[in-house]
Copies of this chain bind each other. A is one copy, B any other.
Amino acid sequence: MSAAIRSPQPPLTRSVEDYLKSVFHLTSQGGFATTSDIAAMLEVAPPSVSGMMKRLSETGLIEHVPYRGVQLTPQGRRAALQMIRRHRILESYLTSKLGFDWGDVHVEAERLEHAVSEKLIERMADALGEPRYDPHGAPIPTAAGEIEEAELVTLAEADVGGSVILQEVDDEHPERLHYLAEQGLTPGVRLRVIERQPFNGPTIVRRDDGTTRVVGQELGLLLFCRPTDGE
């Protein structure tokens, strides 16, 4: 029998925490996370991923189907959600309490999330009033490990003629986030989808203030929206 369960679980290393987060994100739509996708996300070589997957499945954090991919076990999912909570609480705290720009908090949180205690995160969450979303609109898992799963559609594929609320934007790349802030494309804004150019062309939207924005397909794929029925 395998010794997948250990009573005094050793603390996870930074690397392990990063791998778990990646697997979580890559499997959030269901299915398996592939070796090459994980490698690309973490910027390591595929054999490094294979090696780590072996170790993680031995410790019971993931389920590995060779040549297919991996999924999180309940234990792995719990750890991943804890990391994501840390990350998003940190991003929220840095923007709200220390005046950080929303473009800069991601990389800062990326380092801090491996060093903060549970206690510190809960103090920050408390100071913020237990926020439910981070500055980029991403839902923050609860301390108990529950996360809201919304059915969002990217702006690049939203129905032309319909209305959407911009809910969440990708949190990487400061320049992109600065641009979005300049354009007033921030979480919560209501947009009417006016038209979309063919051949993966840009989407044209109108804000409530009547101004319009032209959003290229690449950017549009990173803007997650909730369709609204009302005009």
Instruction: Kindly specify which of A93-101, A132-140, A151-159, A167-175 makes contact with the partner chain.
Output: A93-101
Which A178-197 residues have a C-beta within 8 angstroms of B?
none
Docked Cα-Cα span, A210 to B181, in Å, equals 61
A116 at interface (Cβ–Cβ under 8 A)?
A: yes
Contact of A112 among B97, B99, B112, B123 (CB under 8 A): B112
Q: Are A123 and B100 in contact (CB under 8 A)?
A: yes
Contact of A120 among B98, B119, B124 (CB under 8 A): B98
Among A97, A111, A112, A115: residue with most chain B CB under 10 A? A115
Q: Which 10 A-B pairs have the closest CB atoms?
A: A115-B115, A98-B123, A111-B115, A112-B115, A108-B117, A108-B120, A98-B127, A99-B123, A114-B115, A98-B124
Interface size of A as a range:
10 to 19
Contact of A116 among B99, B112, B117, B119 (CB under 8 A): B112
Docked Cα-Cα span, A80 to B151, in Å, equals 49
- Contact string, A102-127, partner B, CB cutoff 8 A, digits 1/0? 00100010011011110110011001
Task: Give A116's nearest chain B residue, CB to CB.
Answer: B112
> Nearest Cβ in chain B — how far from A96, in angstroms?
12
Docked Cα-Cα span, A34 to B4, in Å, equals 43
> Nearest Cβ in chain B — how far from A157, in angstroms?
37
> Nearest Cβ in chain B — how far from A49, in angstroms?
23
Provide the residues of chain B in CB contact with A100, threshold 8 Å: 123
Docked Cα-Cα span, A144 to B112, in Å, equals 24
Docked Cα-Cα span, A94 to B97, in Å, equals 13
Provide the residues of chain B in CB contact with A127, threshold 8 Å: 97-98
Q: A97-B127, A111-B115, A114-B115 are in contact. List 16 more A-B contacts (CB 8 A).
A: A94-B120, A97-B97, A98-B120, A98-B123, A98-B127, A99-B123, A100-B123, A104-B119, A108-B117, A108-B120, A111-B116, A111-B117, A112-B112, A112-B115, A112-B116, A115-B115
